Chain A
Amino acid sequence: MGMLTITSMNDEEVYRSYAGELTRYATGLVGPFDAGDVVTDACLKAFTSPSWPEVDNHRAYLYRTVLSVATDHHRSTLARRLREMKTATPQAVHNPDIDVDVLEVVDRLSMKQRAAVLLTYWADLPVEGVAERMGVSTGAVKRHLARARKHLKEWLS
């Protein structure tokens, strides 16, 4: 057992460079309520990983870790949050920044489908870039996108 203090400026620089986009990515994956926690957990996991010093592409690695942490996050968290919002008093939950309709639409997708949609349509990455940041093959990305479109048929029509 030992104590580890993260004080590396390099890590901090990396964090400051990507924290904003990682938080937006995490928001797309788990919703705005838990995005901060997911990013914090993911960064701690990455920075303390034995393989972190050898990582060439910090950005892609952090994206993969955010997806991994988001997947480990309780799977029904977003659905639970939405249920809580619906059963709470309107005054208690009114938040003009929360787009409940969109969250309900996205809740139909698996975590990987959400990641594929976000990286394709928000981050505007080609399929190879999406595959790198998800840590999967390009074929898997295409399948996740195809399934996402199928689940979002109503939204798209």
Chain B
Amino acid sequence: MKKNDDQRMKDLANRLVAMSPEPPPFPEEVIMTTPVRKPTTWKPLTVFAAAAAVVLLGFGIPFLLMNGGEPPVAVPDTTTTTSTPVETTTTSGLSTTTTEAILVPANEVGVSVFLYQSPENSFMENPALIPFHFPAELPEGADDTEMIRAALNFLGNPDVTLASIWENAVPAGVEALEVRRADGTDNALIIEMNEAFLDGAGGALADFTMLNQLIYTATALDGIDEVHFIVNNEPIVAFGSEGLGLESSVNRETFQEGNLALIYLTEPVVADGDGTIQIVGISNTFEATVNLIVRNGAGEIVHETFTNATCGTGCWGEFEFTVDEALVDADSVIQVFEYSAEDGDPANVITVPVTVIETS
């Protein structure tokens, strides 16, 4: 973030506060119902929940792994996280999904990692990006470029096995060797990739999906808008199966059109105890309408709503849902979709996990 922006934000806050009236007088006397203090009791359900949490924390399967019995994935620069598989069932014609709960420790440094959901699983023509909260444990004094490098290298980690419906177009072995800010800018990064990057993902659409995953992951931090990939300290003149030129900086819009689904999320869905969760994304849907369903661990719909994106029917718009955090837990999934203008069936359905940050 630029210093100018900081100054503008400060100005805004100060001008707001400058309108403050005099404080109200101390409420000397008030007549009200005496609050009743409820005795603290250990209800069986609480005990069960606590025990379940302990079991989950102690024996849970690591983040993004469902390779039963295999050792935890060796994810560089990450803390141990826990998860458990959850089956959801079809109850309204929307896709059946297998997801997993994601629990991460409170106050971890978090970055976003973008995987994708393939069209076959969601009636979509193009893959949808699915953001995950990625807890990173970094050396003391590490800056945000190191967080981004850790996130990028999560994608190319050969030991990562993905679960269920989410996929990764970044081939194992692709690595970000260095991430640094472009000279004289706050919002642009130069990312030195290894040579494995140049091979792409093995097909035109897969190449674009791989690039979109890396671009979205690299620009997930506040204030980073564009990236410039280089290899061997040289601009890239031929990338992937099509020999795509990547000599210039790219951003989230560069390979969006025609390569990504018409609905996808731009931030992970994170429940961190602040009362609400936000589901934020981009869409290009009929009349800009975007629908949302929250399912519990049993696959039952516990909440259903819709909103309008800022643009639709031929243009991309942003949308945001705010959902009461009490409606979700680590077993919940969020489904975002539109109803087809042709037949009224759910279309462009994406299924997104909820990451619960433990607030002990």
A residues in contact (CB < 8 Å) with B: 1-7, 12, 15-16, 19-20, 22-25, 27-28, 31-32, 35-37, 39-40, 43-44, 48-50, 71, 97-99, 102-103, 105-106, 110, 112, 117-118, 120-122, 134-140, 142-143, 145-147, 149, 152, 155-156
Q: Give bound CA distance, A40 to B25, whole Å.
A: 8
Name the residue on B nearest A110 (C-beta). B322
Report yes or no: A147 in contact with B278, Cβ–Cβ below 8 A: yes
Within 8 A of A (CB), among B19-71: 19-24, 26-35, 37-38
Query: Do A138 and B107 touch (CB < 8 A)?
Result: yes
Nearest CB on B from A65, distance (A): 13
CB distance from B359 to the nearest CB of A (A): 6
Instruction: Choose among A50, A71, A140 the residue that contacts B37 (Cβ–Cβ < 8 A).
Output: A50
Across the two chains, which residue of chain A brings its CB closest to B9?
A: A121
- Nearest Cβ on chain B to A54's Cβ, whole angstroms: 11
Give the residue among B1, B35, B273 with the most A Cβ atoms within 10 A: B35
| Distance (whole angstroms) from the CB of B83 to the closest CB of chain A | 18
Q: Which residues of B contact A97 (CB under 8 A)?
A: 19
Q: Which residues of B contact A (CB under 8 A)?
A: 1, 4-6, 8-10, 12-24, 26-35, 37-38, 106-110, 222, 267, 270, 272-276, 278, 280, 322, 357, 359
Most buried by A among B19, B37, B110: B19
Q: How far is the CA of A24 from the CA of B27 in the complex (A)?
A: 18
By a CB distance below 8 angstroms, the chain B residues around A3 are: 31, 34
Residues on the B chain within 8 Å of A143, using CB: 267, 270, 278
Distance, CA A25 to CA B275, complexed state (A):
20
Interface hub of A25, A49, A99, A143 (most chain B Cβ within 10 A):
A143
Interface of A is mostly: helix
Compute how far the CA of A105 lies from the CA of B9 in the bound complex, rounded to whole angstroms.
11
| A87 smallest CB distance to B (angstroms) | 20
Q: Knowing A99-B19, A137-B273, A149-B222 touch, does A121 contact B30 (C-beta < 8 A)?
A: no
Q: How far is the CB of A34 from chain B (nearest CB, A)?
A: 10
- CB closest residue in chain B, given A124: B10
List of A residues within 8 angstroms of B13 by Cβ: 28, 117-118, 120-122
Q: Are A145 and B222 in contact (CB under 8 A)?
A: yes
- Distance of A140 Cα from B355 Cα, bound (Å): 12
Query: Who on chain A is nearest to B320 by CB?
Result: A147
Contact: B12 with A121, CB < 8 Å? Answer: yes
Contact check, B34 vs A118: say whether CB atoms are below 8 A apart.
no
Q: Is the CB of B17 within 8 A of A28?
A: yes
Bound-state CA distance A122–B26 (Å) is: 24
Q: Using Cβ atoms and an 8 Å threshold, which residues of chain B touch A19?
A: 23-24, 26
| Sampled A-B contacts (11; CB under 8 Å) | A6-B27, A15-B26, A16-B26, A19-B23, A23-B20, A99-B16, A103-B16, A118-B13, A118-B17, A121-B14, A149-B222
* Cβ-defined contact, A139 with B17, below 8 A: no
CA distance A81 to B124 in the complex (A): 44
Report if A152-B12 is in contact (Cβ < 8 Å); known contacts: A1-B34, A22-B23, A134-B274.
yes
When distances are taken between beta carbons in the complex, the residues of chain A under 8 Å from B278 are: 143, 147
B253 to chain A, nearest CB (A): 15
By a CB distance below 8 angstroms, the chain A residues around B276 are: 112
Residue of A122, A142, A156 near B14 (CB, 8 A) is A122
Pair B17/A122 contact, Cβ less than 8 Å: yes
Given A1-B33, A4-B31, A149-B1, are A27 and B12 neighbors across the interface (CB < 8 Å)? no
**In the complex the two chains form, is B30's CB within 8 Å of A5's CB?**
yes
CB neighbours (8 Å) of A117 from chain B are: 9, 12-13
Which of the residues A1, A37, A140, A155 comes within 8 Å of B12, measured between beta carbons? A155
User: What is the distance, in angstroms, from A123's C-beta to the closest C-beta of chain B?
Assistant: 8
